[in-house]
Amino acid sequence: MKKHSARVAPLSSYSSQILTCHISEGEEGSASHVDTPGSETSGDGTSYQTFANTLLKVLGGLLFVLCVSSSCVGTNQLVQLTFKSFSCPFFISWFSTNWNILFFPLYYGGHLVTTRDKQTPIQKFRECSRLFGEDGMTLRLFLKRTAPFSILWTLTNYLYLLSLRKLTATDVSALYCCHKAFVFLLSWIVLKDRFMGVRIVAAIMAITGIVMMAYADGFHGDSIIGVALAVGSASTSALYKVLFKMFLGSANLGEVAHFLSTMGVFNLIFISIIPFILYFTKVEHWGSLSSLPWGYLCGLAGLWLVFNILVNVGLVLTYPILISIGTLLSVPGNAAVDVLKHQVIFTVVRLAATCIICLGFLLLLLPEEWDSVTLRFLAAFADKKSEEHGEELTDSSIHTRSRSRANGAVSIPSA
């Protein structure tokens, strides 16, 4: 009896653990289904709402993609139309940048429409001024923070417009896509961002495309100068974005609207002297104010403002990758307009260079964890294949045994 009780005691404790697990998985689970009959319905409702929100966000992103690419194509084509009657790129850049002043008023109008808690313009302006510091925007901070970014903004636009005088809109838009590779290189060097081999490959592809684009016309004067101007515009744009991330960090939509309007004010006050200097030195000749193509200038400035609004609003409301894809789609959009309207003939080298740059741009859109996600997907796919293969072997062995038993013999499968 003592031996028997010694053997039973550990077995009873072990069996109680098994019974407890069995009850929690079976009876309690069934009881929960009985007590809350609407839980499955609520779960389906939640999943449906999540799916609907994701679908709306994706559809909104696709709409933003079309709008971003259309505004970019329209801006490039309208610039080249303006150059036929008014070839003053710095004046065009200065005039278009002044329209950035409208950014914050438009944002405040959207705030009044979409928000119940209304704020006065002064309150909203002070709230968005926190981007400059806890004390808000002072004259010293205005000059210190706005001046370098305004100069980079002006250089980016001015070099971009100069390149459009030398190259087609397709070539310029393709070369400008290299700014994504320059942003990665500067972020890796300056901001110590994560190193990614695929992005290094994309940067090499961008540089290869630049060299091929310069070689497409045999390194002639206009071609090589145009390529250099477009690459310079992409470089200053990348420097602008990296410095913004370094000094100002991540900003919300209101802060970005405030900052762009501030740059427009700085441009109007401090950079207005440069167009007059260029005019009196006869570098850019305007003529009389009445002779200026105000329709083209206002349309161009409006499209440029719409493009900037769409990019910054899209980064908040939808996926950032879709905005980048919209910028990339401006390349085939410009190519279609150049072929159909301007009868531009692209050489094989130029097409290859454009494709290489666009492919490198797509590689730069891969997320940082793409390698681990891909490895997990491949591992799960391999496990699923092995399980299916094991089930097929089991079914075949069972079928073989049944047939051999029917014939009066027993077959033993080899290990």
Max avg pLDDT among 124-133, 136-145, 349-358? 349-358
What's the pLDDT score for residue 318?
72
The answer, yes or no, to whether residue 56 has pLDDT greater than 90, is no
- What are the backbone dihedrals phi and psi of residue 316, each rounded to the nearest 5 degrees, phi first? -90, -40
Q: Output the six-digit token pair for 104.
A: 């914050």
Q: Output the six-digit token pair for 19.
A: 């019974």
**Sorting pLDDT into bands at 50, 70 and 90, what band is 20?**
very low
Mean pLDDT of the region 10-31: 36
Q: Of 105, 225, 118, whose CA–CA distance to 163 is shortest?
A: 225
Q: Report how far apart the first and last C-alpha atoms of the chain are (Å, whole number).
A: 46
Separation CA 174–CA 188 (nearest Å) = 23
The answer to whether 91 and 157 have CB atoms below 8 angstroms apart is no
Half-sphere exposure of 185 (CA within 13 A, CB side): 16
The answer to whether 86 and 347 have CB atoms below 8 angstroms apart is no
The answer to whether 202 and 363 have CB atoms below 8 angstroms apart is yes
Q: What is the pLDDT of residues 279-295, one digit of tens each?
A: 999 899 887 888 899 99
Mean pLDDT of the region 155-175: 93
What's the pLDDT score for residue 393?
59
Please, what's the b/e burial string for 52-71 (b: 16 or more CB within 10 A of its CB; e: otherwise)? Answer: eeeeeeeeebeebbebbbbb
SS3 readout for 183-198? HHHHHHHCCCCCCCHH
Q: Output the six-digit token pair for 272.
A: 């207005």
How many C-beta neighbours within 10 Å does residue 27 have?
A: 10
The answer, yes or no, to whether residue 402 has pLDDT greater than 60, is no
**Residue position matching structure tokens 């913004």:** 244
Half-sphere exposure of 181 (CA within 13 A, CB side): 28
Mean pLDDT of the region 250-263: 87
**pTM recorded for the entire structure:** 0.77
Separation CA 176–CA 12 (nearest Å) = 75
Mean pLDDT of the region 146-172: 93
Provide CB contacts within 8 A for 72, sequence distance 6+. Answer: 173, 307, 326, 327, 330, 333
Lowest mean pLDDT among 15-29, 189-203, 318-332, 381-395: 15-29
Mean pLDDT of the region 274-283: 91
- What are the backbone dihedrals phi and psi of residue 63, each rounded to the nearest 5 degrees, phi first? -65, -40
Residue 10 burial class via C-beta count within 10 angstroms: exposed 0-12, middle 13-18, buried 19 and up? exposed
The answer, yes or no, to whether residue 121 has pLDDT greater than 70, is yes
Pick left, alpha or beta for residue 205 (phi over 0 → left; psi -120 to 50 → alpha; otherwise beta): alpha
Domain boundary assignment for the chain? 56-368, 373-415
